[in-house]
Amino acid sequence: MIFETFHDMLKNDERIQFTVTRKGDQLAVLVQPVLQGSADDKASEAIQSLRAALSMPLYVVTNPQALDAEFPRSLADFADVREGGNNDLKDAMSRIKEAGKQAKAEAAKSKQANKPTEKSRFEEPDHQDDDTASAKPAEISVTDKSLF
Helix, strand, coil share of the chain (percent; to 5): 50, 15, 30
What's the whole-number average pLDDT of the chain?
Answer: 79
Contact criterion met (CB below 8 Å) for 4 and 78: no
Q: How many CB atoms lie within 10 A of CB 33?
A: 18
pTM above 0.85, yes or no: no
Cα distance from N-terminal residue to C-terminal residue, the chain: 119
Select from 45, 34, 35 the least CA-distant residue to 92.
45
Pairwise CA distance, residues 9 & 6, whole Å: 5
Q: Give the model confidence (pLDDT) of 17-30 as tens digits.
A: 999 999 999 999 99
Q: How many CB atoms lie within 10 A of CB 72?
A: 14
Which positions of the chain have pLDDT values less than 70? 37-43, 115-148
